[in-house]
Amino acid sequence: MAASIKPSKKAPKTPEAPAPERMTGADAVVRSLEALGTDIVFGLPGGAVLPLYESLFAAHTLRHVLVRHEQGAGHAATGYAQATGKVGVCIATSGPGATNLVTPLADAYLDSVPILAITGQVGSPLIGTDAFQEADIRGITMPITKHNMMVRSAADIPAAIAGAFHIASTGRPGPVLVDIPKDVQNEELDFSWPPVVDLPGYKPNTKPHSRQIVQAAKLIATSKRPVFYIGGGVIKAGAHEELLALAEETGVPVVTTLMALGAFPQSHPLYMGMPGMHGSVPAVGALQEADLLIAVGTRFDDRVTGDTETFAPLAKTIHADIDPAEVGKIREVDVPIVGDARRVLSQLLDVFKEGKANAPKIGAWIERLNELKERFPRGYDPQSDGSLSPQFVIETLASQVGTDAIYVAGVGQHQMWSAQFLNFDKPRTWLNSGGLGTMGYAIPAALGAKAGCPDKEVWAIDGDGCFQMTNQELTTAAMEGFPFKVALINNGNLGMVRQWQTLFYDGHYSHTKLGGEVYVPDFVKLSEALGAEAIRVTSEDEVIPAIRRAREINDRPVVIEFIVGEDAQVWPMISAGASNSDIQYALNIRPFFEQEESVGTAPEDIDDVVELGSEQEKGN
């Protein structure tokens, strides 16, 4: 006979749940967002979300930011999420409003950013009739969202919003879309919180297997040329402190991908740089010559690996990721670990600190990588025509602003120069579109970052091509009070495309030139018309005064237009699909620490091929 359990007489009474409150589905959306801790949403009203906007009109704690284009709402939500670690929320109406969110949803999906998109839909009786402004946004976004759903009953709204937040922010983060027909927004329900959330089959595995941790520690302890290959998942997991402690405990060098800049202090002696197509020679060399890759929170992206057949050819691989689908997808793995990056690094650290494994003896390896650091410092070739070098602009910006600011980059040459010449010692200080490579990302994402971190200095670094896609959100920033700064790198061209045309298409500049002898558009006048302060800079001696002036203005956004040479290129470079061992490095560079003189001589061909890997078996 089973024993009965009598409750203690001293046990406190369970507080009674508050009585359900009668309200509309639209009110329930707002109340659910407030209950989940949302403080700000980005959106643009339209017919199918008018009930929701009626509820937002009376919201007590929820601030709505009126963007000028729904794409801006999506990127702003992404910038907010990347800067804060919270779920970013955006709202759009049905049809074209919803489809304007496709690009930011795809962007967030590829970069694993937790955002919630709430879209209005035509009334339930009209669905499937090709009604005015009807679009099957669920079907359209199914491949680019972590999850999406249509709410058919107002009573389901609290659970739908709570479930969307949970899915977006747990496991591998990502975008979730909730589509709500207009009649469901008007329908009444008895609202109570918290709702019962039932997500059958959704159980992310965050706890790594202890046996795999031990196997990984053994591989690290016996390796001679190990390297931590760190991806953006480490930042998303909040694992930067554990990474630093483990690297220092083991002495293993670290490289961080484009999405992971700031996950490990760049000022640290164990830091080797960013690998990939425009990575540093020490970082690329570390991967190519390694005998062990300790890959954490990274997906072996093609921009890092190049030719996968020749990527890190002698290295065994430990791959830890929260998403089991990524482990072994691109590269065969010797020790697979599925789990949260913070837990993985913490448990590995415990193994070494408790003496269950010894730090590897890798003095010769560190010496080799430090040699690469000395031989191939970051630098650039000054413009032969005497025009302003974009690298100088970004390098100077870094020296003036420091590492506490949040930097948001668009896509292209300015993005790569920013990754190379800014300094990142802290996580969530570098935001960019890595996976999708979305032009137009920077301005609205900087707006979102400033909204989420109002006490932080936020700089958008954009190109003239990217800027012309989403500059209308400067008006949003001016009207809503988000005074971020913009460093606009204007070379009059689609710069990265022009670089490829220079190198691989015999200089046939097919439709990449944006400017002319006159400034069209005049970015100073355009920025001023949009509500921003604007400054134009054409020479090196104007750079620092302009940056200082911009930092003094805090009541509106500021745009500094830097007129730079059109022939500046991004080096180092690995051609698409080529082996990382064939990294090309410009010889006639000006090192960042030696501004007055160039290093080497200037050959007719500005690049030289550095062969990596030939010394893999020599003395290591």
Mean pLDDT of 447-460: 98
pLDDT in tens, 293-319: 999 999 999 999 999 999 999 999 999
Token output for 145: 């969202």
CA geometry: angle 377, 380, 386, nearest 5 deg: 155
Residue tagged 């730090």 (tokens)? 359
Count of CB atoms within 10 A of residue 619's CB? 7
Q: Which residues lie across from 457 on neighbouring strands?
A: none
Instruction: Please state at what angle helix 442-452 crosses helix 70-84, rounded to 10 degrees.
Output: 50
Are the beta carbons of 314 and 365 closer than 8 angstroms? Answer: no
Among the options 133, 215, 400, 468, which is catalytic?
133
pLDDT value of position 586: 61
pLDDT value of position 517: 65
* C-alpha to C-alpha distance for 458 and 416, rounded to whole angstroms: 18
pLDDT in tens, 255-268: 999 999 999 999 99
Among the options 70, 242, 395, 566, which is catalytic?
70
To the nearest whole percent, how much of the chain has pLDDT over 90?
86
**70: annotated active-site residue:** yes
pLDDT value of position 601: 27
Is 0.85 topped by the overall pTM? yes
pLDDT value of position 619: 31
Task: Decide whether 21-191 matches 390-563 in CATH topology.
Answer: yes
pLDDT range class, residue 612, cuts 50, 70, 90: very low
* C-alpha to C-alpha distance for 76 and 65, rounded to whole angstroms: 10
Say how far residue 204 (Cα) sits from the centre of its chain.
22
Instruction: Please say whether the structural domain 21-191 has been given the CATH code 3.40.50.970.
Output: yes
With a cut of 80, say whether residue 609 has pLDDT above it: no
Instruction: Say if strands 21-24 and 188-191 run parallel, antiparallel, or are unpaired.
Output: antiparallel
List the one residue out of 446, 382, 399, 386 whose CA is nearest residue 547.
399
| Lowest-confidence pick of 273-282, 482-491, 568-577 | 568-577
pLDDT value of position 383: 85
With a cut of 60, say whether residue 618 has pLDDT above it: no
Are the beta carbons of 78 and 44 closer than 8 angstroms? Answer: no
Residue 587 gets which letter from DSSP?
A: S
Among the options 421, 496, 561, 562, which is catalytic?
496
Helix (H) or strand (E) holding 477: helix 473-480
pLDDT value of position 16: 63
pLDDT in tens, 484-497: 999 999 999 999 99
| Lowest-confidence pick of 5-19, 86-100, 355-369, 458-472 | 5-19
Residue tagged 């990575």 (tokens)? 279
Q: Is 461 helix (H, G, I), strand (E, B) or coil?
A: strand
Q: Is 408 helix (H, G, I), strand (E, B) or coil?
A: strand
pLDDT value of position 275: 97
pLDDT value of position 448: 98
To the nearest whole percent, how much of the chain has pLDDT over 70?
91
Mean pLDDT of 12-21: 68
pLDDT value of position 10: 53
* C-alpha to C-alpha distance for 346 and 582, rounded to whole angstroms: 36
Range 582-609 burial, b when 16+ CB lie within 10 A, else e: bbbbbbbbbebeeeeebeeeeeeebbee
With a cut of 50, say whether residue 35 has pLDDT above it: yes
**Residues written for the chain:** 620
* C-alpha to C-alpha distance for 27 and 14, rounded to whole angstroms: 28
Are the beta carbons of 351 and 221 closer than 8 angstroms? Answer: no
* C-alpha to C-alpha distance for 99 and 105, rounded to whole angstroms: 10
pLDDT value of position 506: 94
Max mean pLDDT range (51-60, 464-473, 498-507, 602-611): 464-473
List the one residue out of 151, 146, 192 whose CA is nearest residue 172.
146
pLDDT value of position 518: 64
Are the beta carbons of 474 and 527 closer than 8 angstroms? Answer: yes
| Lowest-confidence pick of 2-11, 175-184, 448-457, 503-512 | 2-11
CA end-to-end distance (rounded Å), the chain: 69
Domain map of the chain by residue range?
21-191, 210-375, 390-563
With a cut of 60, say whether residue 209 has pLDDT above it: yes
> Which CATH code is given to the segment(s) 390-563?
3.40.50.970
> Which CATH code is given to the segment(s) 210-375?
3.40.50.1220
Residue tagged 């918290």 (tokens)? 194
Cα distances from 288 to residues 225, 261, 306, 421, 568, in angstroms, run: 10, 20, 11, 23, 28
Instruction: Please state at what angle helix 25-35 crosses helix 50-57, rounded to 10 degrees.
Output: 50
| Lowest-confidence pick of 6-15, 91-100, 269-278 | 6-15
402 contact partners, CB below 8 Å, separation of at least 6 = 423
User: How much is the mean pLDDT over the chain?
Assistant: 91
pLDDT value of position 385: 86
Token output for 179: 């589509």
What backbone torsions phi and psi does residue 327 show, to the nearest 5 degrees?
Answer: -75, 115
**150: annotated active-site residue:** no
With a cut of 70, say whether residue 3 has pLDDT above it: no
Mean pLDDT of 573-600: 60
pLDDT value of position 63: 97
Using the Cα atoms of residue 22, residue 28, residue 32 and residue 33 in order, give the sign of their dihedral: negative
Among the options 86, 146, 182, 450, which is catalytic?
182
Token output for 297: 């929170």
480 contact partners, CB below 8 Å, separation of at least 6 = 65, 66, 451
541 contact partners, CB below 8 Å, separation of at least 6 = none
Count of CB atoms within 10 A of residue 176's CB? 28
**133: annotated active-site residue:** yes
Among the options 132, 371, 595, 611, which is catalytic?
132
pLDDT value of position 36: 98
Q: Is 72 helix (H, G, I), strand (E, B) or coil?
A: helix
Instruction: Say if strands 379-380 and 590-591 run parallel, antiparallel, or are unpaired.
Output: antiparallel
Mean pLDDT of 436-450: 98
